[in-house]
Amino acid sequence: MTRLAIISDTHMPRGDRRLPDACVTAIRSADLLLHAGDIADVPTLDAIVGLGPPVHAVHGNVDDHAVRARLPAELQITVDGVRVAMVHDAGPRTGRLLRLRRRFPQADVVVFGHSHLPLHENQDGFTIFNPGSPTERRRAPAHTMGIGETGAGVISLRLITV
């Protein structure tokens, strides 16, 4: 079994913004960290990598040139038999699940960000998951992140408030 910490839209540094303690604790206790983009700059990326678990990340629309040079726009990995795709901007809400299923036909789950609005949606065994943002909630009711567990080709995901 692999424990995942899932974040997006950290937008650091900006003012005195930092990852909440509960988020850092969850990341450090994970086996893998997935970041769905909008990190901002390389020092922030390096700080996130320095938290401990291996990081799989994509770049977002606010990431600077150096981050874009280090991270892909989309990524597909397999964790314990679960095929996970990642992209920052999944497009408009209307038709999103079907659009992502067409874009990533081999994926079991697509992790994305951009809207800062947490979302966990499943249809016929295909899941889309937006962890929200641990640092900039915008219209979301709280700062959030995702926790996942994989094993034997199955993934369970949940949103937590940080």
Question: In the predicted model, what is the mean pLDDT of residues 38-61?
Answer: 96
How would you list the strands of the sheet with 144-151, edge to edge?
Answer: 55-57, 32-35, 2-7, 144-151, 154-161
The pTM (predicted TM-score) of the whole model is 0.96
- Is it the case that residue 70 has pLDDT exceeding 80? yes
Give the pLDDT confidence score for residue 80 in this predicted structure. 97
CATH architecture for segment(s) 2-161:
4-Layer Sandwich (3.60)
Averaged confidence pLDDT in the chain = 95
Question: In the predicted model, what is the mean pLDDT of residues 59-77?
Answer: 97
More confident residue, 76 or 18: 76
- Is it the case that residue 15 has pLDDT exceeding 90? no
Residue boundaries of the structural domains of the chain = 2-161
